[in-house]
Structure 1
Amino acid sequence: MTPPPPVPLSVLDLSPISAGSTPAQALHNTVDLARHAEAAGYARYWLAEHHLTTGVAGISPALVIQLVAAATERIRVGSGAVQLGHRTPLSVVEEFGLLDALHPGRIDLGLGRTGFRLPGPGGTPPPPRPKPAHTEDRWTPEGLLLPPPYDVSSLIGSPLLTRYVRLVQFPGAELPDYRAQVEQILGLIRGDYRTPEGLEAHAVPGEGADLGVWVLGSSAGASAEAAGALGLPFGANYHVSPAAVLDAVTAYRKAFVPSGKLDKPYVLVSADVVVAEDDAAAQRLAAPYGLWVHSIRSGRGAIPFPTPEQAAAHAWTPDERALVDDRIRTQFVGSPQTVVEKLRVLQRATQADELLVTTITHDHADRVRSLHLLAEAWGVRG
């Protein structure tokens, strides 16, 4: 009996800045990696949005999408994701409508929900966080690790978060209802949006755009529920929030209502991977990842991605290691066969229709090689 074909693979790129390099070089690397992804047969190439860090050049998905789409011919290009916590639906639809006008039928609009409130006098305190679903490692029947969830409370009030709120969000801004934002985006694209007063509003460009609209989420909360209720495809985040990935996809499927776009749920799941010729070589290339994640979770923001030598010289304390343990243990690192087997476990456990891989190494050539080795071993065809 012929085995079923593998699910599609796609790429998420943060445009990382390596130690000793520059933002300009990082963006040139992104364009080059996208060309390689297209040649290797990946389905789509998504660009992330990050702010106020020294280690990531991907601050504006729409601008980088234009760079990538202009440099490629067939691969779908999109956002993973536009953060609606500091954007209006109209601005998003106009920007992505312009991209679709230039590259019709190739643009994905992935929507995220990031937004924060600062605690303290005069501020609105964040809502209480629910208790973790589990405090010890869990394993699915397929063998997928679900580590204890990371506690983000340590970032509340950190210099990084304070800068973000002060500089990215408008002063005193209240976070809008996420589902209402997504519905407004869909209405503007369809051309039937009306304000609460009944006034027509038309986004040009944007109205009638052939955009693939996605919702991305890290938990079983508003994002998963909105994606399901509106009949949109959903991207679940294993590479950043591995503990909650099954809860997120379950909530999405439970909430799903067929739409004009989808008659059944469609789930994409992300994974952080590093592939090399053998396990030892891959482990060496992936070694700086822990330092990079620690810079984010300790409130400093992403640092330029260290070299393997810098990683080897770092003496980890128990507290430092604990802060990044879940991310290191859920990164898929190894030879092509090793990583393929791990990705198959992820796909079976989540029943994903597509996998989204992100790879960060210090040297760009190692990212390119990782991408090609994985595509060949997975069975992707260019």
Structure 2
Amino acid sequence: MLDYHLQKLFQKKFYGSRISLEELALVIGIDPQRLYQQIREVNIFLRKKGQPEFRFVDGDIQLPEKINFSWAELKFLTSRYEIIFSEIERQRLIFLYCFLEVENLSVFHFQDFLQVSKNTILADIKKLREYLEENAIQLVYQRKSGFYLSGEELPIRIFARNIVSELLDSDSGYWGLTALQEQLPQNDYLLFRQHLKQAVIEQKLTVVPSRVEEVSHYITLLSGRIAHHRVVFTQEEQELLVGLEAKVAAEKFIACTPAFDYPNEALFLTSLVMTVVEGSIQDASLDYLLQCAHQIIQRIQTFSAIDFRERNQTLLHVFYHLVPSFFRIYFGYHLPNAWTDVVKRQHNELFKLTKIALRPLEKLTRKTIPDILCERTFYDKLNNN
């Protein structure tokens, strides 16, 4: 897989040009040696496909006059005809295609994108509709408008965010997600990623790099929809988000990205950021979650007879992970995980104990705690004792 920086390279303005390796690396924002290695990988792919290659001439790079592949194909060095999506991936991609609202979508659009038969698409749409109805979302078709999503905007966006997270968990899903961004009038993934990362850094928020990528992919898809749909928050949701440091980061992002400058979008972006940042004890608006972390540790000690050696360190460790978990659970975001079933089988009693210890969080969110959080807390407990 190519580095995301190389998306800048595959733009028509560069095609046919000759430029030094160092200068091109500077423009793209990547180490020259890394760029050299990645271009060699691209050349192997182009050679196999019988296409003109990049040429290295006296320290310069001569770009082909034309490259007949999409960014998704180049990023994964895999042509669209070599990608096979699972049934669930097809349904997720159909949903996200409708989420974009870039054109009047028909069955043909889905066939062309997913490279499957009309009957397969019709079967996928039927199953997708049944699943969406359970979540109060409708996939509607009208002759003049094509396929589109209907329902409250916040649940639709949360559903789409969860799908993005799931698709990124497989190569084929990631390929499809990348290809979908190219259906937009303008694919600003790199720009959105840069602005989001900068806003988070300026507010001194700690985010796992892979989660920045995840949110960046999502807001790129959202950019195709945001001008036409307003998101609404309850009074309680607004009070939860308005005082957070992440809201300042969201406002800084919007200041650099006018496409997101609509009512309540700063609040929505705040909810997104809070699902991927660690807790900060400097943010007084999160004190209630620090207290919740304290209660969880007390319950773990009470029910398991474990005495943590570094109590303050353990408190902070639980708090750091509790903050994004709280906001994911509260708003209905989730993350895929492949280890939960293993933990439940191998350490079932301790797993149940951890679930009991997380009752304070369950009380705060007024929702059932997902097993993935029990797993993470369980491992935190073992690693800090």
**For this structure pair, what is the TM-score category when the shorter chain's length is used for normalisation?**
under 0.3
Higher helix share: 2
Higher strand share: 1
**Higher alpha-carbon Rg:** 2
Return the structure number with greater relative CO, CA threshold 8 A, min gap 6.
1
